[in-house]
Structure 1
Amino acid sequence: MKRIIYTVVLLLLCTASFAQVKKRKTPTKKAPVTAPVSSAPQPTTAAPVSTAPASTPATTAKKTKIKTPPKDGFTVRKDVDSAVMVPYADVREEDVYYSKRIWREIDLRDTVNSVLNSEKSKLIEILLDAIGNEELTVYSPKDTVQGKVLEDNDSFKIALSSQEALRNARGLTEGSADATTGKLSDPTLKRFRPDDFQKFRIKEDWILDIKRSVFEPRIIGIAPMKMVEGNWQPVFWVYYDDVREMLSKQRLVNPSNDASVLTYDDFFVRRLFASYVVKETNPANKNIVDILGLTDPKDPRKLYESERIKKSVSDFEQSLWEY
């Protein structure tokens, strides 16, 4: 009996819940409000007359924009980042176990070295421009006492002024005589000809640093050479550490890769040049030609001796290590 009552109650509850229906509210539409129509006549007003001047065609014309010229390819970059210069490692004198000084000559007529004499950038022009702007200190290639030339000197003892360095490089013209007075005019600098400088001489030290266990060369100085009285002679010397920062900002023309960012400093530090030895340290302080007593500068024995010196340095390096 109780079960029947429970079921009846549940059915009533279910029917009551489903019976609730939400009334939907329908929005009432408001009648539009219309303004009362007035029968009085409306006053008429005249349209305002514009006093602004009529625009001329010159002012309405669009301004033409200056177009930036397009970039000529991907290799138009001429400058390089100065931060690419890798500084030398510090070497203490007490860590240098072995040292050998060698003088080399770089011939720009060689295909490998021709990049130093390219039409876009020449090493001699970079040096002379820096000397003319007094940004670089140069040194005399000769020892002089009271106007007398004693011997070749590359120890950076006698500093030259910018005018003296330019005079050594370019030379002076002979003074011309005045037609009326007969006085000679002061000599002037000759026209600069880069093709006169076809060789460069470098002085370097091969050192063995026992602290780092490294056998490496360090370039000490560089000198442009010019033909004087049938012989190639340096016109001035430049301390390489002074000129290295400037060379690291000058891009080198690389014929193998137009996108290369090699600098003149990279060319020397990475040993990308071809050269031959002309002198090594010896008791007599003579070069190879004087030691061998050669009269012909094209004598092949000079190159044989140069290769012998190169091999002696290489053999010393190979003898340091055991495999």
Structure 2
Amino acid sequence: MHVFDDDAVADLLALDDLLGVVERAFLKQGRGEVERPDRPHFPVGEGLDGRDEPAGTGLAMPAYVHGDPAYATKLASVFPGNAAPEVDRPTVQAQVLLTDASDGEPLALFAGERITNARTGCIGGLAARELGAGTGPVDLAVVGAGQQARWQTRAIEAARGVERARIYSPTPDSRAACTADLRHEGIPAEAVDSAEAAVRDADVVVTATTSETPVFPGDALADGALVVAVGAYEASMRELDRTTFERADRVFADVPEEVAAVGDIVDNDVASARLLPLSAVFEGDAGRESADEVIVVESVGSAVLDTATANYLWREASEEGGVEIAF
């Protein structure tokens, strides 16, 4: 088996290629040509060092795309406290194990943070390409300033182009650091002092937080705005307010049955029947119908994207790639 650390994954991964990989994965998922068992997620850390509440969440995410040579199992964790300056660790950490689908041989173990961040970023990139109003580079607002904020911006730049990115986080140092990183990569980004200032007049709005309360006022959205919410993945999390959904002409979801259970949907009394599968957009069965429509895309993430990305990375790697180990 070969082990790929983050540097090795970075050498293999190109967003321009991954956008197509993720689009194909959505098409296969929408057609039912995948195996995607329920993903358990559970609180961890309670009782450790005297804690009376969980420190984070553990997740297990297996999946297989029909016809691919291998399947993958991702083990992930989400620890919001890691974003604190005194901790300075990734909020999301993960490992992806790739296994031969023909004989069960373990093929590769990948550091998973970049895989998770990049494939989730591609959701925003594809949404901006297919559902954003107009053509050409977008005026982008990003609420959140962690790694996912950076990857969403990178993927939208790769898919559509970014004319301007306004970054807001309640932590000034975080939004300044995110802005500096993006500008270093050639993306015109600026830090702003409020979520409303970021969102107003934006073509595309991305929320990439672990918030439990809405992160911007829906009445600040411009007509024709596309909102891509990627942070909320369970019932306690909520990034969008009721006004946003009242203004939305349509709501797309990467995994409708799972999105129906997150706080954005439950707390805002959004009927599950409103959740259209994002895969329908790539089939050409749904899309933007007018420049003035407000469209929301909700994402909780799908292990199908992880296994598709891991298969892509394995194809890109030579047999000598990574570090080979024997079990």
Same fold (TM over 0.5): no
Structure 1 or 2, whichever has the larger Rg, is 1
TM-score by length of 2: 0.23
Greater share of helix: 2
